[in-house]
Amino acid sequence: MNDSKNKIRKKSSKLKAPELKIEIAEVFRPLLSEAHRIKFYYGGRGGGKSYAFADSLLLLGRQRKLFIACLREIQDSIKDSVYKLLCDRISTWGLNDYKIFENKIENTITKTRFVFKGLRDQDVNNIKSLEGVDIAWIEEAQTITKKSWNILNPTIRKDGSEIWISMNREEENDPLWVLVGSKPDERTLVCKVNYYDNPFCPQELKLQAEKCKQESPEDYEHIWLGEPVRQSNYKLISSSLVRDAFILKMSSSTSPLVIGLDIARFGDDKTSFCFRRGRLCLGFESYSKLDNVEVANLATNIIRSQRPHRLFMDIGGQGAGVYDILKDRGFGEIIRGVYFGEKALNEERYFNRRAEMWDEVRQWLSSKPEVQLPADEELLDDLTSVNKKYDRRGRLQLEEKDEIKKRLGRSPDRGDALALTFAEPVYDDGEPRIYGNGRLTYNDLFNNNSKRRIEW
């Protein structure tokens, strides 16, 4: 009996993987030696995160049986994953105890198993297969959505299981940064690591980093120091532009009155009117919970009393009904319907009408002579809430309204109403007269060639 036990012992000791001294940089030691529910490493390029995570997992997987899931937001093919890096490290270290399959890696001795998955493709049933995971490694974690995290975190439920996160921060509000990295609890280790912390950092990368530091400190901070891209780079309209427009410079204008009407789409949104005369935005009126007829009645009273040259209204959703009523009441000459989603007047430059109108607001705010907005912090929040991006054709596009709503906690209704006042050029058919802040005449603005010109 004893003999056979001995034999087994002998056999298993023979099977033990050869001891190897794999060097792990100091900053990554906790991966191997400390237990934390979440290990969150972030920083710029070349910090050694991917290599250290791969090496540490391969090491741990040789010591005991582990089920390791290598995850990312999107994985169209195994080539997108860390599979290749793991294969390379296995080969570098000569880890013959690892067997490489087409879409998984196994340790022949400990039976450790690595699988590779994209989180976005996981439905509830699929994700269940991850319940037994000991270590989940989320690579490129800056792209992970809140939805994916909320599904994944409770799926990794085995006692003692860990989630390892490696991230190069992209934006101020990367979901995993907001949810995990920015406010670590006692079970979370957060560690920043940059190229200068990486003892294995190739000279080439160091040279690139230095060059970038000299040429573009802002890019250096993002690419090499792992700082998020400054939000202002994404913002269509900066706070300083809006604040400049708050400074009092004029209180009246003889430019024609243009009204923008943004009609609430959802319960909490507000129906907002914006009143603008050339370079002067006179103000806003906002209303909650109105039905079509009530909005139409308000608009009717406003048109009758204020006699605008034009009233632009959003006719996506409920607005179409209001438009019909106003048209039926004989205001067809004054009102114009606009779909935010429709193609821009200048299709080469703008993704859609919404981007075009909002960019008109930006240009209006940036142009001289200066413009005037009513000083109001909520308006400032509305106008600076919109982030821009560019589509494949390089056209300006705005971030989805839902995203803005999430951040702002409401729709930028008044910003939309102001943007609507720029839907189309409005022509002034009157005689030359004092414009804007009183320093400019019609002739100055429109060089006297044309009788009917854009008025802003």
Ligand X SMILES: Nc1ncnc2c1ncn2[C@@H]1O[C@H](COP(=O)(O)OP(=O)(O)OP(=O)(O)O)[C@@H](O)[C@H]1O
Residues near ligand X (CB under 6 A), total = 13
* Total residues belonging to the chain: 456
Cβ atoms of residues 63 and 110 within 8 Å: yes
CB atoms within 10 A of CB 124: 8
Which letter does DSSP use for residue 300 in this model? H
Choosing among Mg ion, ligand X, none, which partner's interface includes residue 45 (Cβ < 5 to 8 Å by kind)? ligand X
Lookup: tokens for 137: 């490694």
Q: How far is Cα 188 from Cα 41, in angstroms, rounded to an integer?
A: 11
CA distances from 229 to 168, 173, 233 (A): 11, 10, 7
Q: How many Cα atoms within 13 Å fall on the side-chain side of residue 245? A: 28
Smallest gap from residue 102 Cβ to Mg ion (A): 23
Which lies closer to Mg ion via its Cβ, residue 176 or residue 313?
176
Which lies closer to ligand X via its Cβ, residue 163 or residue 398?
163
Which lies closer to Mg ion via its Cβ, residue 50 or residue 385?
50
Binders in 157-176 for ligand X, by CB under 6 A: 168
Which lies closer to ligand X via its Cβ, residue 226 or residue 256?
226
Site residues for Mg ion per CB under 5 A: 50
Q: How far is Cα 122 from Cα 133, in angstroms, rounded to an integer?
A: 15
SS3 155: helix
Choosing among Mg ion, ligand X, none, which partner's interface includes residue 318 (Cβ < 5 to 8 Å by kind)? none
Choosing among Mg ion, ligand X, none, which partner's interface includes residue 372 (Cβ < 5 to 8 Å by kind)? none
SS3 368: coil
The residue to which tokens 């009204």 are assigned: 259
CB atoms within 10 A of CB 149: 20
Cβ atoms of residues 262 and 318 within 8 Å: no
Smallest gap from residue 140 Cβ to ligand X (A): 8
Which lies closer to ligand X via its Cβ, residue 45 or residue 72?
45
Choosing among ligand X, Mg ion, none, which partner's interface includes residue 101 (Cβ < 5 to 8 Å by kind)? none
Binders in 14-53 for ligand X, by CB under 6 A: 45-51
Choosing among Mg ion, ligand X, none, which partner's interface includes residue 330 (Cβ < 5 to 8 Å by kind)? none
Choosing among ligand X, Mg ion, none, which partner's interface includes residue 48 (Cβ < 5 to 8 Å by kind)? ligand X
The residue to which tokens 């009904």 are assigned: 321
Smallest gap from residue 313 Cβ to ligand X (A): 48
Q: How far is Cα 335 from Cα 320, in angstroms, rounded to an integer?
A: 12
CA distances from 327 to 136, 322, 332, 424 (A): 60, 9, 5, 19
Which lies closer to ligand X via its Cβ, residue 55 or residue 416?
55
Which residue has its beta carbon closest to Mg ion?
Answer: 50
Binders in 125-154 for ligand X, by CB under 6 A: none
190 contact partners, CB below 8 Å, separation of at least 6: 40, 42, 181, 184
Choosing among Mg ion, ligand X, none, which partner's interface includes residue 202 (Cβ < 5 to 8 Å by kind)? ligand X
Binders in 196-255 for ligand X, by CB under 6 A: 198, 200-202
Smallest gap from residue 23 Cβ to ligand X (A): 6
Choosing among Mg ion, ligand X, none, which partner's interface includes residue 217 (Cβ < 5 to 8 Å by kind)? none
Lookup: tokens for 207: 């040279």
Which lies closer to ligand X via its Cβ, residue 82 or residue 355?
82
Binding residues (CB under 6 A) for ligand X: these are 45-51, 55, 168, 198, 200-202
